[in-house]
């Protein structure tokens, strides 16, 4: 793939200064819970939502994977907040040998500090929105409202995580941060995997984001699986600019 170069914009020896607070990298997540649903969608429709520096990864001819998910961060260098994610799998365009990674299309949060930090440090598409997460019962629900309109509500089973191994995952996340960038992301925690996604429900609302999801074929697109992670931990590394060799 292209050469990776450290991006030091806005950073000092002490770290990044955001709203009077210092953020040092890697930013560490010490405790969170996370739920996701993995769908199979049209690669052509997905490519329309991804910027030109990146190419959608097809898992079958004309088919790509889409992740809808949410996180309840309880102990995190960027604060205690809720987050919703819409994620595709991509690689840098024109570089078929490059590593596959995630590209976050939307990343609503419910607090301003993490929003500004995510935008400035990594180029994450964070916005401050109304998010409600209820994980008190056997079904976990996340409702996202944007600009006063219902975008979607995702419900999935809260499966027992102690029956599954504690998985450690390292991956690459790509961002369009004034040009293509990559960053290392590590995640661990007891994970329950629900093949086929039995019990998952997705209700789409009236916000334009819901219409974008409908154009991808949701809520009726094939649902591959869902996951639930208890006591998630992880870290976000420094952004690195991708330069052509």
What pTM was computed for the model? 0.92
Residue 178 has a pLDDT of 86
The residues with which 205 forms a beta bridge, in sequence order, are none
Half-sphere exposure of 143 (CA within 13 A, CB side): 9
Q: Report helix, strand or coil for 211.
A: helix
Domain boundaries, the chain: 32-230
Residue 197 has a pLDDT of 95
Nearest to 229 by CA among 153, 158, 143, 137: 158
Residue 167 has a pLDDT of 58
Residue 6 has a pLDDT of 44
| Cα 169 from Cα 191, distance rounded (Å) | 11
Residue 14 has a pLDDT of 59
Residue 8 has a pLDDT of 44
pLDDT in tens, 202-212: 999 999 999 99
pLDDT in tens, 119-173: 999 999 999 999 999 998 999 999 999 999 999 999 999 988 764 455 567 889 9
**Given 3.30.470.10, 2.40.400.10, 3.40.720.10, 2.120.10.30, which CATH number is that of 32-230?**
2.40.400.10
| Cα 236 from Cα 79, distance rounded (Å) | 14
Q: How far is CA 5 from CA 122, 170, 183, 211, in A?
A: 14, 20, 11, 37
- The full DSSP string for 16-46 is EEETTEEE-SSEEEEEEEEEEEEEEEEHHHH
User: Is 170:186 a contact under the CB 8 Å cutoff?
Assistant: yes
Strand order in the sheet with 201-204: 130-134, 139-146, 149-157, 201-204
Token representation of residue 112: 């301003």
Residue 170 has a pLDDT of 80
- Could you state, in chain order, the average pLDDT of each consecutive group of 10 residues for the chain (245 residues)? 48 76 94 97 97 96 98 97 98 91 97 97 97 95 98 94 62 91 89 93 98 97 95 92 76
H/E element holding 114?
Answer: helix 112-117
Residue 168 has a pLDDT of 64
Whether the bond into 219 is cis, omega within 30 of 0: yes
Residue 199 has a pLDDT of 96
Q: How far is CA 232 from CA 128, 204, 205, in A?
A: 22, 27, 29
């Amino acid at each position: 793939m292209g050469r990776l170069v450290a991006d030091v914009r806005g950073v000092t020896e002490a770290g990044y200064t955001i709203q009077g607070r210092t953020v040092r990298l890697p930013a560490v997540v010490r405790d969170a819970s996370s739920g996701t649903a993995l769908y199979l969608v049209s690669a052509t429709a997905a490519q329309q939502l991804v910027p030109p520096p990146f190419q959608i990864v097809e898992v079958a001819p004309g088919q790509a994977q889409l992740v809808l998910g949410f996180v309840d961060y309880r102990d995190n260098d960027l604060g205690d907040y809720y987050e919703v994610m819409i994620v595709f799998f991509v690689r840098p365009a024109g570089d078929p040998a490059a590593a596959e990674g995630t590209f976050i299309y939307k990343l609503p949060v419910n607090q301003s500090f993490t929003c500004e930090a995510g935008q400035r440090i990594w180029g994450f598409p964070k916005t401050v929105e109304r998010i409600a997460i209820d994980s008190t019962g056997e079904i976990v629900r996340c409702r996202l409202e944007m600009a006063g309109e219902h975008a979607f509500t995702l419900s999935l089973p809260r499966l027992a995580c102690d029956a599954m191994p504690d998985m450690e995952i390292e991956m690459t996340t790509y961002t369009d941060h004034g040009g293509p960038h990559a960053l290392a992301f590590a995640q661990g925690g007891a994970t329950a995997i629900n093949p086929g996604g039995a019990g998952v429900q997705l209700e789409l609302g009236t916000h334009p984001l819901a219409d974008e999801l409908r154009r991808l074929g949701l809520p009726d697109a094939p649902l591959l699986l869902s996951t639930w992670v208890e006591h998630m931990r992880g870290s976000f590394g420094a952004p690195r600019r991708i330069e052509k060799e």
